[in-house]
Amino acid sequence: MADFSGQLSLCAEARADGTTVLAAQSFRAPYHISKPYWDAGTGVLLVQVVNPTAGILRGDRLESEIAVGAGAALLVTTPSASRIFQMAGGAAESRQTFRVASGGWLEVAPEPLVPHRGARFHQRTAVEVEPGGALFFVDQLQPGRVAHGEVWLWDRLCLELDVRRGGELVLRERLDQSGEELRALAELAGSGPAACFANAVLLADGGEGSWRAEIGALHRDGLWVGVSALRRGGWSIRLVSPDSIRLRQALSDLRRILSAHFPPMACSLRKL
C-alpha cells in the first residue's frame, strides 16, 4: 500500500449576517470532510473530518491547518477514533496548526488516538491565538485495543504541543514514551490496565468564576482531573480515567460545565 501524504486546510470566516462559513477549504486523502452544519442555536459551524481509510499506516505524513477569522465560530471533530497500526520499520507523522484571530472561536475535539501493537507515531500541534480570540482543544489517548487484550504495546508515541497567545509561548509539552513507560504512569495513578488520558487547553478571556471548582469536583471515584492556569488567560486541563467510557462521560461533563461560561461549547459534537 502506498504511503499517504495527506493535507487538510480549512479557513472559517464570518458573513455580514454573523453566520460562519468555510471561506476556503482543501483536502487530500486520507482526509475528507463532511458537509458543514450551521447550528443557529449556538452560532457555531460544525465540521467533521473523516479518514475513509482503515487508519494511520507506516510512512503516512499528515498535515492540517485550521484558521478562524474575526467573528467566526468553528467546531471541528471526527466521527471515530484514529487507529495507528503496527509498523514493521518506519513511522507515521502528523503536523497540525490551529490559528484563531481576535474575536474568533475554535473548538477542536477529535475522537481518541488508539495506537496498536508495534506502532510508531509522532504528532506535532501548534496553536496560535490572537488576543481576544478563544480556543478549546482536547487530545485523547487510549492504551490500545482493550477488547483484544492489546494494551500499552506500541513502540513509540511522541505528542508535542506548543501554544502561543498574542505571539507569546504560554505552554510547551512533549510526551515521548513507549507503551510500557506510559503504563507505569497509569499504574502510579492507580487507574488500572485500561487507563485513558485526555489533555485539554482552554484559551479565553474572562475569569475562572465557579467553573474551576465544578471541574475539580469531577475528580473522584477513580477519575483524576487537574486544572492549571496559564499566562494571558489560559488553562491546561488533564484527565486520567480508568476506561474509555468514563473518559467520554468526563469530557461530556467538562464541556457542559464550560458551556455555561463559553456559549459556543453548547454545540453538540454529534449534531450531524
CB atoms within 10 A of CB 129: 29
d(CA 228, CA 212): 10
To the nearest whole number, what is the mean pLDDT of the chain?
92
pLDDT at 2 over 60: no
pLDDT at 73 over 60: yes
Per residue in 83-108, pLDDT (tens digit) is 999 998 889 999 999 999 999 999 99
Domain assignment of residue 272, yes or no: no
DSSP string, 186-214: HHHHT--TT-EEEEEEEE-SS--TTHHHH
* C-beta of residue 77 within 8 angstroms of C-beta of residue 252: no
* C-beta of residue 221 within 8 angstroms of C-beta of residue 241: no
d(CA 90, CA 60): 10
Mean pLDDT throughout 171-188?
Answer: 87
Per residue in 131-140, pLDDT (tens digit) is 999 999 999 9
Domain assignment of residue 258, yes or no: yes
* C-beta of residue 118 within 8 angstroms of C-beta of residue 84: no
Whether omega before 242 lies within 30 degrees of 0, making that bond cis, reads no
186: left (phi over 0), alpha (psi -120 to 50) or beta: alpha
pLDDT of residue 3: 63
b/e code 221-242 from CB counts within 10 Å (16+ = b)? eebbbebeeeeebbbbbebbbb
Domain assignment of residue 120, yes or no: yes
Local confidence band at 189 (pLDDT 50, 70, 90 cut-offs):
low
Least confident of 65-74, 246-255, 263-272: 263-272
Domain assignment of residue 253, yes or no: yes
C-alpha Rg value of the chain to the nearest Å: 18
DSSP, collapsed to helix, strand or coil, labels residue 15 as: coil
d(CA 142, CA 151): 9
- Total domains in the chain come to 1
pLDDT: which is higher, 198 or 150: 198
Domain assignment of residue 168, yes or no: yes
pLDDT of residue 30: 84
Local confidence band at 51 (pLDDT 50, 70, 90 cut-offs):
confident
Per residue in 199-211, pLDDT (tens digit) is 999 999 877 778 9
pLDDT of residue 71: 98
Domain assignment of residue 167, yes or no: yes
pTM above 0.75, yes or no: yes
In this prediction, what percent of the chain has a pLDDT beyond 70? 96
Domain ranges, residue 61: 5-266
pLDDT of residue 253: 97
